[in-house]
Amino acid sequence: MSAGVGTHPALATIASAVEDVRKVAAMLTADEAWTFTDADLELMVRAQSELDSAVAAVGVRAVREADVRGLSLADGKISTGVWLARKLDLHPAEARQRVQDADILSRKGTATVEALASGELNRDQARAVARSLRKIEPVGSAAELADAETFLLAKSRGADPSAILRLGRHIEEVIDEDGKPPAPDPDDPTGDAPAESKRAARAQRKRSLTITDLGNGLHRIRGELTDEVAALVKAALDPLAAPRPAVNGLRDERSAPQRRHDALGDVFRQFLRFGDLPAAHGVRPHLHVTASVETMAGDTGHPFARTATGEDLDIATLQRIACDAGITPIVATTLGVPLAMGREVRTATPAQWAALVARDIGCIGDGCTRPAAWCEAHHIEWWDRDEGPTDVDKMVLVCSHEHYLIHHQGWGVRMAEDGHPEMIPPTWVDPEQRPRRNAHWQLVRDGLKIPPEEPDPPSPESPRRE
């Protein structure tokens, strides 16, 4: 960066400062840094932070002025955020954040900018103050906003950004008076209009949910939920997201986010199976999958199956879904041209499902306590469209997790001589592949609703075993 002739003195000064800092960076090599004393290192870290704060204050004022002048429009960009991202090679979200911070701090947080420039606040602390002020502004008066900034600045020194954000939320709730009904509407003489706090009304306006295909077999869910919907989601997911009981001393290997992901899938499978949903395009909502005959037969050389909403499914996933789902057969060529279409069929009839429940009670996975209502009917052998209905002795009840293990992790299922199913672990889990049964449902089947009682402790007179 170099300042030209006739440039503003501030620009010439910062250009010189950039060169000086670059010289310091060149001097502070790995071979040189070890010569610093501990006190020198601490001073260097503090000096760098103060320099960063001063530069951030310069950025706030410069970005705000660029936004006011509309430099983005002159440069053919749709917004200052887009313009800034292009000029500085920033992530779009970071560029938008800088523009928003510059806007609120220049209008309502001038004291914060001064504290940032003097080094009293670091960049992250100032950003937390700016974020808090943005949330307070819609619900507070000018005086309340000024008081909020004064309070946040007084409490920010020595506080980390998360603490500042908590203080900002507290101020917002106090100003908004959540739960207290607003003044009567003069246009509603009856007084029957529902009362709603400013906070609730704002949350209702900002509610959102988006699902983005990342193109790598994953999708990102992003959104903002109202308090009510968040409570409903947590109430539905928390019981299903609990760790599974340990099996043979092995604990549930899934992380908490992974368990919540699986629980979300369970909730929607249950709802699509039993929920009262409105019809879409004349049929009850269910998963539409189109696949070629070769793909259905398990030929990996043919294209993936594709859902009506555009997701690609591999063969194992297709087979798992087709085990127990509402299926509309669509016979297509490998190019995706439909050749024939049949009626929707369900692979497990109501009578077969009742028989499965009577036999298995719940998921057959070892240690799993999911009841039949949260299970799917898995075909021990992949169904063939020419064989007709599947017999009950070729199906078992499994939860979504065990179903995934069967189709994707090499677990097997077999019917034992006594007519009850067993799961066979892959060799990398158990080299001997010893069959596993669900002892929990065996106890229920035998009429033991609770585990057997522990034996009475030995009496004082009883001899002790050494």
Q: How far apart are CA 454 and CA 440, in angstroms?
A: 17
Please, which pLDDT band fits residue 101 given cuts at 50, 70 and 90?
very high
Least confident of 112-116, 160-164, 223-227, 281-285: 281-285
Average pLDDT, the chain: 77
Contact 364, 370 (CB under 8 A): no
Over 80: is that where the pLDDT of 300 sits? no
> What pLDDT is recorded for position 193?
41
Query: Treating both helix axes as pointing N-terminal to C-terminal, what angle do 142-156 and 123-136 enclose, rounded to 10 degrees?
Result: 150
Of the ranges 42-56, 227-241, 353-367, the best mean pLDDT one:
42-56
Residue boundaries of the structural domains of the chain: 36-176, 226-244+252-268, 277-346, 347-454
Q: Is residue 93 scored above 50 in pLDDT?
A: yes
The mean pLDDT value for 260-287 works out to 66
Give the separation between CA 378 and CA 398, rounded to whole angstroms: 7
Q: What pLDDT score does 66 carry?
A: 92
Report the predicted TM-score, pTM, of the whole model to 2 decimal places.
0.46
Handedness of CA 192, 198, 203, 205 (dihedral sign): positive
Between 278 and 306, the higher pLDDT residue: 306
Question: Which of 87-96, 112-121, 224-233 is predicted with the least confidence, judged by mean pLDDT?
Answer: 224-233
Residue 140: count other Cβ atoms within 10 Å of its Cβ. Answer: 21
User: Residue type at 370?
Assistant: R
Percent of the chain at pLDDT > 70 equals: 70
Residue 113 and residue 130 in contact, taking contact as beta carbons nearer than 8 Å = no
Report pLDDT for 391. Answer: 73
pLDDT tens readout for residues 371-425? 887 788 888 876 544 444 457 788 898 888 888 888 878 889 998 888 889 999 9
The pLDDT of residue 150 is: 93
According to the per-residue pLDDT averaged within each range, which of 27-36, 40-49, 343-352 is highest?
40-49
DSSP codes of every residue in 345-366: EESS-HHHHHHHHHHH-B--ST
* 322/366: higher pLDDT: 366
